[in-house]
Each structure stands twice: as structure tokens, then as C-alpha cells.
Structure 1
Amino acid sequence: MQSRLILVLLLLLCLSRTSMAQPVVDTTAVNQKRLVVVGATFAVGYTAMLVSLNQAWYAEEARTKFHFFDDSKEWRQVDKAGHFWSAFHESRMGMDVLRWASVPEKKAILYGGLLGVALQTPIELFDGYQAAYGASVTDIVANTVGSAAAVAQELAWQEIRIMPKYSFHTSRYATMRPKVLGSNLAEQALKDYNGQTYWLSVDVGAFLKEESRYPKWLNLAVGYGAEEMVYNDPERNAAAGLDAHRQFYLSPDLNLMHFKGRSKVWNTTLYLLSIIKIPAPALEYNRLDGLKLHPLYF
């Protein structure tokens, strides 16, 4: 289910940066024309995506009455980290596009910050009618916490200092169940939880005094992932001889937004790439191998 959220996020990010191609006007009045552009862009774009998702993922699925499904113990909660990541960046995007429309700061933060929950809730409603699974309370919680984390940082610091990020590497487990975990690289990047890592990249320089010599471009990131997960059910994994286990990481990271310049194309590229963790050396801990160093971790 997380693969759908990633696709929605990436498409909406592209739409938002297209609508923000012009420079922001310094004015206290709401720019009605830009607000209409924002509303129309998201109304049309998101409606089209929901229709597409419904056809691509749900059209051939057996349906039933709306119900909830407890998936809190599945995939070692890597999928919940993905929900948090998606909702955070959707809310971040919502705040930024409302600022572009010159909406007052607090309203931009509060209304834009609701976007992550607003965008992902319809997907949970779709899931609730599927016989094979259902709406997930823990997914809804992860979505809400992701949006709240973006809002809280903007209210506390007037900027994002702790950026959720995503990275991916291929795993040998995808070939064991390609219909679920992906049969090619693009599908695996969306579906194979064994290869996904979710990070919190901390802008250390933002917490230090202005005169500090600490390099403002250097972040410190902590990551979370898991491995040996072919089935969503932990008991089925164990029966297949797999020992699903969590992985924790520590790694340096680039603060891409530090490199902003005058070029709109360049700044847009940095904005889009800021959701991804740049490959770098990483220290990993897991209960099977203990500590180990990756010279370059994706």
C-alpha cells in the first residue's frame, strides 16, 4: 500500500514545483490568482490520480463492506515509516504552495500542514473496502504524525530542521516473491521494504550559534529499515526460515537546501531531491550482525 503513497507524493511534488515557478511576491495580501492556480492544480491533479489509482490497484480486487484491518505487526513497521515520510512532505509542500500564494504565515502552516492527512485519507477509505485487507488505524496514525511533525517544526523554528528522507538498495528477497516485492528496479523501489531505509536528517548547523564554524551543508542522519521480510505476516516469514529483523543506521548527509541559488530550475531540483538521502558511509546496528560499517550505503 505504501507504493501508492510514494507515487502520489512524487507526482504532487512535481505539480507543486511547476505551479511555484514564478518568484514569490512580498505582499501581505493573499494573491487570489495564485491561490486559484494552487486549488485548481491540486483538485484536477489529485482527482485524476485517485481515479488512476482506483483503476490500477482496486479495479480487479474483491470488495466488501468498509472495515478496518490491523497491520501494525507487519513488515517490521517499515511501511509506517513510509507513511510518516509521505505525509510529512505532502504537508511541507502544502505549506510552501500556500506561502507562494501569499497566504498569511500561520494560516499557510496550519492549512497547508493538513494536506498530508487530507491526501492520504481517501486512500485509506479505498483500502477499507478491499476484501484482502482494509483501512489501517496505524497507517492513519502515521499519516497524522507525519503531518504534525512538519507543522510543529514550522511553528517552533519557522523552518524544517529535521528532514525525513528515503533511500533504497536492491535486495535478494524481491526475487523470492516478485509479484509482491517487485519484478524490476522501479517496482522494487516502491514495494520491497527490505531495500527501503527511512531517515531523519538533522540540520545540525541550525541548532548552533550563527558564528559557529560547523559546516552548514553537513547534516547528521539516523535511519531505520528491516530485512528478511518476504511475507507481511511475521509467522509466515519464520515458517519460511527467515529471521525478519530491524536495522538502525547513523550516517552523514548533505543539507541540499543550503546550496540554493538564483536559478529556479536549480532550486526546484534541490527541493525535489531533498526528500532523498544521498548515498554516504553508514554505521549499521542489527541484532544478528551487531555493528558494521558500510563504506557507501544506499
Structure 2
Amino acid sequence: MRLYVSLGMIKLKVLPVISLSALLLVQPLYSKAVSFPPDTVTATPHNKKLLLLGAGFTAGYTALLVSLNEAWYAEQERTNFHFFNDNREWLQVDKVGHFWGAFHESRAGIDVLRWAGVPEKKAIWYGGLLGIVLQTPIEVFDGYQADYGASAGDLVANTVGSASVIAQELAWQEIRIMPKYSFHTTPYAAARPNVLGSSLGEQALKDYNGQTYWLSVNVGDFLKPESKYPKWLSLALGYGAEGVVYHPERTNRAAGFEARRQYYLSPDLNLLHFRGRSKLLNTALYVLSIVKVPAPALEYNREDGFRMHALYF
């Protein structure tokens, strides 16, 4: 489900905003602790820190939901709670976006609880559920809207995103496969700017034709310690779509657009490998780690077959 917050003339997609906010809030907390591997620290909970986190989270998220209700839902017709099947829309790029957002919200939740001294297993399980906790109320709100409803696909994507963080932390005590995002402008936004965005900022959030989501694999983390493979060099698998402007598909074709899926293979940088003593640097690397760096990429789609991009973002 595409959900937008209208504040004056600004429309922001809720999921990326919450995800980025979670990452920004966890900093500089995380930067203070990056030198302490989670599996070598005996955690001692700090009640004051936990109280601060709990109060701040409750107040902040409650305010967000109240603002969301007033700014978006208050003017819409409401009905009994129901589900709306949007799983065929946007060639599921929006669902991958939900996975990406929930993953990084949960990742931030784990790191915040580590900072607060919560024991490792509890930090992983409780913090790892943050993506689900943040996104589920929004789906509940959607469920009462007459024009659409709650999306089971969104709920599944959110759950898988959070579960992926928990699974990696339990298995490896670190993130070895990092979901990332990249964006480039497309001509499709001009065909439907009210939906796909009229400004660069709106298009980065709304135009699924220009969004690519990646799984960036830190190859060096899977090799033996004595391996000479550079730990900073990752390999990324990407997924995106093109030609998706209208729904359903027959309407899209009638308007002259042909939707197709795109698959990518590209080198990437493991930015967290470059962490050091600088809190500012660590903060920047932590936040930027959700974004795929521009790099050469091999694309495959059913229309063109294989295509090489000298620099893709």
C-alpha cells in the first residue's frame, strides 16, 4: 500500500521517513559502541538509559501516529476494518521497500538496546521486532479506510525484514547481507506526477521505476580470516522495475507503457568496514550503509536481455 503523509504542500512516504528517523535517532549512540563486538561484551542494563529510550520512543511514536491520523486519515472515509490486496501492484517493488525499511528499523532497535546495556539475546529479539512494531499500526489505520485497506503483503514484507535482521544477528552476531537502496530519475514521473512525484524528493520516494533495492553481500565475512579478499568489497544483487505507471496492467498497456522487472549484479562498498574512532565518521557510515554506492552494474530484463551500465545508481 502506498501511504503518504500530507503536511502542507509536502508529501512524504511514511516508510522511508520512519526508517531514516530510526537510524538517525540511534546515532550517535551506535558510534560510541562500535569498538565493542557484541559477542565479547557482558551487557549490564542501564535503567536510566532504558527509561530514557522508552519514554522517548513512546512519546515520539505516539506524536507521529496522532499527526499521521490528523494529516492523512482524518479527511478520508472510514469503514469497518478490512484487507486490501495490492500484491500485484508496482511489480512488488513497494513490498521490497517495506522489507528494506523494516530491516533497518529493526537493525537500529537492536543497536539502541545494545547501547543501553541490554543483554545480547534480549537486545536482538526485542530490538529486532522494532520494524514490525513501527509499521503495524499504520497498516491498522489503513484497514479502516474505505478506499483501500490493510495490506497483508505489507505485513508479510515487514515481518520478513525484521526477521532477517534477527536471523543474521543470531547466526553471525553481525550483519553480513545488507539491504540497500538506490534511485535515479526516470521519464515516467512526468506522465503521472501526482502519483510518481513532481520534485526530485517526491520521485525518490514515490517513483518505483527509479528505485532499485539491493542485497549487498559482505563476501569477506564468509571467508576464512586469513583470506586476502578485501573486506571492504561487497557483491550486490539488485531488483527493480520499469514502465509501471498505471494499474491494473491492462490500463498501463493501454496508456502505452510496458512494465518489466529488472535484475542487477554490481560491486559495492562495505562502508562499515571503514569505521574508526571518529564519532562523526561512524555516524555517517552507519546512516549511509542503507544506500548502494554508484558502481558498474550488469542488468537483465526480458525485453533487452543483458545490458551493462558503466555507472548505475
**TM-score, length-scaled by structure 2:** 0.92
Secondary structure at 1:295 match in 2: strand
**CA distance in 2 between partners of 1:129 and 1:276 (Å):** 34
* Residue 169 (structure 1) aligned with residue 184 (structure 2): yes
With over 3 angstroms needed to count, the CA separation of the structure-2 counterparts of 1:14 and 1:57, relative to structure 1, is same
Residue 15 of structure 1 aligns with which residue?
Answer: 25
Supply the AA of the counterpart residue of 1:36.
L
- Aligned twin of 1:282: 297
Are the structure 2 counterparts of residues 68 and 39 from structure 1 closer, same or farther at C-alpha, using a change threshold of 3 Å? same
Conservation of the 8 A alpha-carbon contact between 2:28 and 2:279: no
CA drift of 1:136 comes to 0.5
1:207 to 222, 227, 232: 222
Map 1:166-245 onto structure 2 (within 5 A).
166-245=181-260
Indicate the residue corresponding to 2:122 in structure 1.
Answer: 107
Distance apart, 1:35 and its partner CA: 1.1
What is the deviation of 1:46?
1.5
Shift of 1:279: 0.8
Measure how far apart 1:5 and its partner are.
0.6
- The sequence identity of aligned pairs, in percent, is 68
* Structure 1 residues 126 and 20: alpha-carbon distance in aligned structure 2, compared to 1, 3 A threshold: same
Alpha-carbon distance between aligned partners in 2 of 1:107 and 1:195, rounded to the nearest angstrom: 38
* Greater mean alpha carbon deviation, residues 160-169 or residues 223-232: 223-232
Deviations 1:41-97 (A, max 9, x none): 211221222223223332332222211000111100000000000011111111110
CA contact (8 A) 1:15 1:41 kept: no
Alignment-derived partner of residue 157 in structure 2: 142
User: Gaps (5+ residues) in structure 2?
Assistant: 4-12
Distance 2:292 2:191 in 1: 27
Partners in 1 of 2:238 and 2:67 — Cα distance?
32
The root-mean-square deviation of aligned C-alpha atoms, in Å, is 1.5
Deviations 1:180-222 (A, max 9, x none): 1111000111111000000000000000011111011000000
Aligned pair 1:67/2:77, yes or no?
A: no
1:218 maps to amino acid:
L
Deviations 1:275-294 (A, max 9, x none): 00011110000001110011
Distance 1:170 1:231 in 2: 18
Residue ranges of structure 1 left out of the alignment (5+ in a row): none
Query: What amino acid is the match of 2:21?
Result: L
> Contact 1:199 / 1:221 at 8 angstroms: preserved in 2?
yes
Partner of 1:33: 48
User: What is the number of residues matched between the two proteins?
Assistant: 298
Q: 1:44 aligns with which of 59, 67, 84?
A: 59
TM-score scaled by length of structure 1: 0.96
Amino acid across the alignment from 2:20: L
The 1-side partners of 2:232 and 2:29 are apart by 27
